[in-house]
Every structure is written in C-alpha cells, then in structure tokens.
C-alpha cells in the first residue's frame, strides 16, 4: 500500500535524524514541557478535506494521555457497478472525528522519559459523516436526492514511537493500531426512480461506500440493509497516524 510504504520510509528517515538531536523531558533551566499540540499528516490520505489536531499531556515519566479530533469528509469518488443509474453532483457533505488514548511509555525499551520513545496505548475513537447528492437514471430523465450517514466507533490498542527533536518538536508515529469497530451505514432517497428496486440500489450504494474503507469490504461481504436503509455490524478496524507537534 502507498500509505504503508510512505510511513515506513518516513520512520526510517526520522530514526536516522533523531540520533543527531538533543532529546530530554527537562530543558536546561529545569522547566518541564508537559503539553504537546500536534497536527496529523496522514488523516487527509484517507478522508477528504481532513484536518485533525491532537493534544498530549505528559502525566509522569512513563504515562500520558492524548485527545484528538477534527473535521473530515467521506470520499466522494464511490463507484456503482451498475449501468441503470449514475451518482450525480454532491449537494452537501460534512464529518468529524474524535478520540482519546492513554499512553504507556515502555521503561525497559526507552532510554528517555515520556514523551519520547516506544509506547502502547489503549484508545477509543469515533468518526461520523453525512452527505447529500443527486442520483440520476441512465437517461437523466429522473433524479432523486440521496442522503447518507456513516458512523463507526473503535476500541483498540496502538503501538508507536514518538521522536523529540531539539527539545521542543515532536514527530509522533502510531504504526500499528488494531481495533474492534462498530459500523453503521444509512442511505435514504427522497423519491423513487421507475424500474429500479429501492433497497437493491441502496445496498449497492452502501457496498460501494464500504470499499472506501481499508479491508472493510472483504470482511463484510454479504451484508444486508434493513427496511429503513440501515446496515450495521461489528468488524475489524485499524488506527494509523503520523503527526508533528510542538511542546510547551
């Protein structure tokens, strides 16, 4: 995958550079820097118009907590494998993410105190999206408005490494974060297109949306929506993030 390859290259590069930087929790005048504000570099690779901010608070030499959240939109370039309808223009779209993790910096693996070094971190997070777009028949003689809602909550644990450069700057790499995830997809049309079965079309739309989420489409083959246009299920999830930040 391009994301995974880029991430591994970045981590190797940073690992080399970090050996040349001073790295400590306490500066020369004895003043600690327990607060870190970060911005994600990878969230925009998965979602459109995404901005995610993170705040880490160091609690002691081995532990910290992280709050994160931001704005993001579900990818619009979904494709239907059918010729009788076309997905038209987007009318509106919005979304957000929010989460919390509690970090344990591994004393046996790290030479320095938190927030530098290897960590494991249980986490919870939620992503929610809304969208509205036009659906046309193949002849463009009929159209309806499609409203979609997507939400998924994660419970998991991540493994990562945080670099501290020149005392004030950090590069945070969450490289492995498996999760158990609750997914909920909802699709609803404000009308009917002649000759097309509504629930079948809505199922195809939800299936196309699932293909935009990593590994999800393969894990949930055969899912079905209910009479309200909702499909919900538990499946595997994954957290991955690289961010840069400033300590104060």
Give dist(CA 46, CA 53) in Å, integer.
15
141: which residues sit within 8 A by CB, 6+ positions away?
none
pLDDT tens column, 149-158? 999 999 999 9
Q: Are 191 and 144 in contact (CB under 8 A)?
A: yes
pLDDT value for 217: 56
* Domain chopping of the chain, boundaries: 2-247
Q: Which of 119, 115, 113, 101 is nearest to 168 (CA)?
A: 115
Torsion sign over Cα 124, 176, 217, 187: positive
Q: What are phi and psi of 82, to 5 degrees?
A: -160, 155
pLDDT tens column, 126-149? 999 999 999 888 877 888 999 999
Summary mean pLDDT of the chain:
84
CA 102 to chain centre: 18
Residue 193 DSSP code: -
Residue 6, pLDDT > 60, answer no
Mean of pLDDT values over 1-24: 43
Give dist(CA 71, CA 50) in Å, integer.
6
Mean of pLDDT values over 105-115: 88
**From the candidate CATH numbers 3.90.550, 2.40.160, 1.10.3470, 2.60.200, the one assigned to the domain spanning 2-247:** 2.40.160
Q: What is the largest CA-CA distance in the chain?
A: 76
For 167: left if phi > 0, alpha if psi spans -120 to 50, otherwise beta; the answer is left
Residue 23, pLDDT > 60, answer no
pLDDT value for 204: 87
| Nearest 10 degrees: Cα torsion 150, 155, 161, 163 | 60
The percent of residues in the chain predicted with pLDDT above 90, rounded, is: 50
pLDDT value for 215: 60
132: which residues sit within 8 A by CB, 6+ positions away?
90, 91, 92, 93, 145, 146, 147, 148
Give dist(CA 202, CA 192) in Å, integer.
11
pLDDT tens column, 158-213? 999 999 999 899 999 999 999 999 999 999 998 888 888 888 888 888 888 888 87
Give dist(CA 13, CA 163) in Å, integer.
12
Q: Are 41 and 6 in contact (CB under 8 A)?
A: no
Residue 106, pLDDT > 50, answer yes
Lowest mean pLDDT among 59-73, 134-148, 174-188, 221-235: 221-235
Q: What is the DSSP string of 96-143?
A: EEEEEEEEEE-TTT-SS-TTSEEEEEEEEEEEEEEEEEEEEETTSS-E
Residue 26, pLDDT > 50, answer no
């Amino acid at each position: 995958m391009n994301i995974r390859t880029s991430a591994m290259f970045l981590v190797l590069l940073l690992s080399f550079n970090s050996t040349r930087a001073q790295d400590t929790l306490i500066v020369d005048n004895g003043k600690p820097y327990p607060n870190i504000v970060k911005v994600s570099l990878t969230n925009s690779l998965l979602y459109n118009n995404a901005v995610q901010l993170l705040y880490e608070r160091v609690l002691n030499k081995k532990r910290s907590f992280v709050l994160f959240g931001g704005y993001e939109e579900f990818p619009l370039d979904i494709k239907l494998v059918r010729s009788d309808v076309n997905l038209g223009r987007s009318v509106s779209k919005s979304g957000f993410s929010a989460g919390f993790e509690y970090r344990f910096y591994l004393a046996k693996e790290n030479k320095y105190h938190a927030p530098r070094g290897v960590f494991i971190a249980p986490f919870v997070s939620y992503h929610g999206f809304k969208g509205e777009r036009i659906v046309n028949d193949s002849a463009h003689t009929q159209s309806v408005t499609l409203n979609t809602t997507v939400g998924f909550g994660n419970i998991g644990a991540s493994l990562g490494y945080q670099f501290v450069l020149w005392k004030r700057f950090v590069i945070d790499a969450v490289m492995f974060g498996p999760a158990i995830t609750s997914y909920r997809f909802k699709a609803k049309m404000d009308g009917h297109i002649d000759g097309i079965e509504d629930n079948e079309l809505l199922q195809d739309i939800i299936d196309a949306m699932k293909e935009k989420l990593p590994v999800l489409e393969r894990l949930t083959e055969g899912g079905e929506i209910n009479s309200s246009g909702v499909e919900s299920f538990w499946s595997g999830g994954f957290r991955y993030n690289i961010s840069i930040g400033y300590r104060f």
